[in-house]
Structure 1
Amino acid sequence: MTGVQEARPRGARRWAIDLRPLRVPAYRRVWFGNSVAMFGFQFTAVAVPVEMFGLTKGSFWVGLLGVAGFLPLLVFGLWGGAVADARDRRRVLLGGGVLLWASTVALLAHALLGLGSPLLLLLLVALQSTAFAITSPTRSAILPRLVPDELVPAASTLNFTTFTATSVFGPLAAGLIFAIWRTDVGLPIAYAVDAVLFGASFWATWRLPAMPPEPDPAAENGPRRAGLSSVIDGFRYLATTPVLLLSFGVDLIAMILAMPRALFPEIATERFGNPAAVGWLYSAIAIGSMIGGLTSGWIGRLRRQGLGLVLAVVGWGVAIAAAGLARQLWLMIALLAVAGAADLVSSVLRQSMLLIYAPDRMRGRLQGVNTVVVAGGPRLGDLRAGTMAAGFGGGVAWVAGGLASAVLVVVLAAAFPALLRYRAAASSGDRT
């Protein structure tokens, strides 16, 4: 693959999302395949809790779906990152993709046969989460092999923007299925849509060239093994790189202290007297992220990425706190959308720093850590918000969490200025 020529953007193109990575055939196929598959996955994401609630008539079992999904993610996300650094990444994606598709087909069979087993549903969700945990670090780690280094921020932005767009439109499309058909008919349709659309991702992965691991100059006993020692090596490397460690730290602070989604049902009912408002609250952050992605052309030209990351995370906390003070629904939605845009910027910058700063031999393991942080932070944030709301009320839990997040990130960045000093490397190496 040859380098992509870079023309200086003018006018609106300076702000519009950077589409240059789509000129690279391999990336374009992967982006298209993953986008279609992620849209299909949203049908399953809606169908599973609908099916569980229909079987049990209780939210407790629906809540257990989160536990069933998170525990495999925690374990296999780290192991999956080690696998990505020790095996051909194309083969890892193909193997994990087969497992992911099989779990979706099993959900389809469970619905078609009318088995009606909540425990089996939990097991299938855990299996699906295991497959996702194996493939997610690998899917992220291959990005610098698909596009030149200078296009990694733009490619990351495209990936995040697409994900947020599917998070907005996918559930709406899934909701239409259940609005048109009865649940017992809608469930198989939703699972079937997911299973069929996943074929696009498998096709794109099949078209990739072999991606064997790069040699590790520190390895003394032959090729790396995807075991506990490999995972520990990844944590050891992370501990010696303050920039990456701090980037994970500020994200955890932002998600644990300022994520307000567990408070949405309470605020929608008590503050606005309209339970239907909860749908808008759950969509607002994703809508902001999508809009932020569509106007993200400037992110790839940002050189002081460390400072940009800190400002974006602080902006997230301040916007969340301000939204918690809003008494009009439209204003709260607008402020949550601002927070979502800030979250998009911070996610792209953190991912770009991780992919460029870390050597290829470590990218899989660090992406495994990233998977755990990104998935675990919001869930811990739900626990923090719910616990604090039980003692002090939803409004206090919301506003105090946002302010504490912003203040703590500023203190952390000032105490350890390595992140503030980080600048993007002006690299232009080609990828084959």
Structure 2
Amino acid sequence: MPFDVSRNFIDKSISLYRGDLRDVPEQRPTSVRVFISSTFTARFYQVIKDQIDYHIKRSQPKDALYTEALEHAIRCKMFNKNYSPREDIMQQIKEFVLSNTSGAPCILHGDSGTGKSSIMAQIPVEVPNWFRTKNNTSISVVIRFLGTTSFTSDIRRPLVSIIQQICTIYGFRKPIIHESNTLQEIKADLEKILEQIPTNEKLILLFDSIDQLRVEDYDCSRWLPVNYPNNVKCIVSTIPNPDMDKRNILEGLKSLCSNATIISVTKLDENLAQQVIEKWLQRDNRSLTQTQRKWLLSKLEPTWDEPTPLYLSLLYDISLGWHSFDDDRLTNLRRIGYTRDAIDQLYDQLSKKHGKVIFRRAITYLQLSGGLSETELLDMLSADDKVLKSVFVHYLPPPEIFRLPNTLWIRIRNDMHKYLVEMEVDGTVILYL
């Protein structure tokens, strides 16, 4: 505490009388009310004001580079929580990282929901162990989860921040990059900086989800270096062909980097899926009843496209709402067999928690619009009579502004944060589902 705690205590002696309050002399209750309304209120106001002034004076201006790196570190930790052990894939990545030759990047590809982001998030965790026997080697990892923050929907700003971060790590002079600089010029600056990294230093550069960039950035030849020094390793991940565009990112990368290391991420087998579920239960100190466990494991039998990490994550999120006395509720869950079924069940569960009308309308508006800012979404929900009727049942709305309370959407967003993507469009943060 910045202040002496004793200064925040106020003593006041108040005489107490037996009998009914009506027997108390009129002036004494009045003096108590005056004390509360004047002395105490003024003192309370001053203490709060002093606390605010104290912290404002000592608050440091935000460092944009630090904030950007921190956001992706937080994302990395979040994705790593749902990592599904893929020893064969991690072994291939390890061999690529430890190779002592210069060359093209490593390309990690797979369908949506196969766990590419969680694998990319696991690499910074594994890298220190891979280099443990090399005492004189310093390792740095720079990672960007593209499309997950408002500043990574186009490749320009991530490239600039990566250049600045590398210069900060190695003490290089930061190049001056103007708004007029083209992507090719920024790419050239990055290539020059990579060449300057000392040979006894190792840099791991990770670009996750190229498919989440703007369509014009799918052409990686415009911004992605092709040849790297032997002490710099670059790994990129993508889905082969986004539904929204006819361009095949994977084929473009293969033609650009003919000698690239290609790693395919496929669905999980049944045994590995069970191990993942057990790991998540152990991580969260949770246990299931025999009936619940039997039901959950029965959903892991392989089908034409399941189980995927996304499917497992959805099943696990559904199980978070279970109690030991809820075995009878499992009869309503037998229809789940595919990812779409699990999504529908999770939506049903969250509808009961947040209210069916407001939750379903919010999700529907995000899906049908192709992306909305939070202000636009709240405006639409506030203009929806059915939503307002479902919310203002037990209390009256604010008389000044007839608007949906922001906290209702914030609660929904907190439960859906794993499945929402933020992108900046024309200076506005847009949410996509």
Normalized against structure 2, the TM-score is what?
Answer: 0.23
Larger Rg: 2
Name the structure with the higher strand share. 2
Larger RCO, structures 1/2 (Cα 8 Å, 6+ apart): 1
Name the structure with the higher helix share. 1
Normalized against structure 1, the TM-score is what?
Answer: 0.23
